[in-house]
Amino acid sequence: MTNTLENITVDIQYNNIADAFQDADEKFPDVTRPILYGYIDKMDLSGKNALDIGCGYGEDVAYLASKGAKAHGIDISDKMVELTKKKCPQADAKVAPMENLPYKSSSFKLVYSRYAVQHSANMEAVFEEVSRVLETDGEFLFLVTHPIRHYFEKKTKDYWKQEDVESSILGGKVVVREPSHTMSEYFSSPALKKTFKLLDVQELHDPAAQQMPQYGKYPCVMIMHYKKI
């Protein structure tokens, strides 16, 4: 059943679809997590704090824990946090916004995020918080909706104007709403340029995203890997 969501906050949005989202996500072929986990597998997280921001139902939190990390997760949706606690009972999962992380400075070796950072209308605040809670040489690994796909989904067709766009995902089982962003927000952010070194970027197709064949071949998602310096 498709869940159409309009003009509601992210917490309510994901509270309403939490169970349906988990069910659809677990059944849909996943091409992005194996790539993200490839980065994680090269890290030594044993006994170290790792944080998933926008942790959803806890799939990635559980993976961090499986690598020996002291796994933490935050999400704005209390229903998603409940699911994370069920998925990974040993993890510390909290309801909290990405723009105001409830942790001490220099607390984490890794901050990770999949399909969550772009939900903030103020990503600069998110990047400032990530920089604050990461220790020196800590890593920031995240996947977001690609700005090109955002542009295709916009009604105004003004690339630089931020507006909410709706995305059909997971074979049309779920429709989510998120603010659009530009490439410069991910690469020219003052917070990122000040305290991070860019290690890698990947632009990928994701079959879980809505397909728009009228635009030909285009990237659906973008992965960025930064290190705090």
Q: What is the Cα–Cα distance from 159 to 69, expressed in whole angstroms? A: 39
Neighbours of 43 (CB within 10 A): 16
**In 42-146, where does DSSP find H-type helix?**
59-66, 78-87, 123-133
CATH superfamily, region 10-228: Vaccinia Virus protein VP39 (3.40.50.150)
- Whether the CB-CB separation of 35 and 204 falls below 8 Å is answered with yes
- Whether the CB-CB separation of 199 and 228 falls below 8 Å is answered with no
Would the pTM of this model clear 0.75, i.e. be above it? yes
pLDDT tens track of the chain, all 229 residues?
233 333 345 555 677 677 777 777 777 778 999 999 999 999 999 999 999 999 999 999 999 999 999 999 999 999 999 999 999 999 999 999 999 999 999 999 999 999 999 999 999 999 999 999 999 999 999 999 999 999 999 999 999 999 999 877 776 667 778 999 999 999 999 999 999 999 999 999 988 887 888 999 999 999 999 999 9
β-bridge pairing 108-114 and 49-53: parallel
3-state secondary structure of 18: helix
- Whether the CB-CB separation of 197 and 226 falls below 8 Å is answered with yes
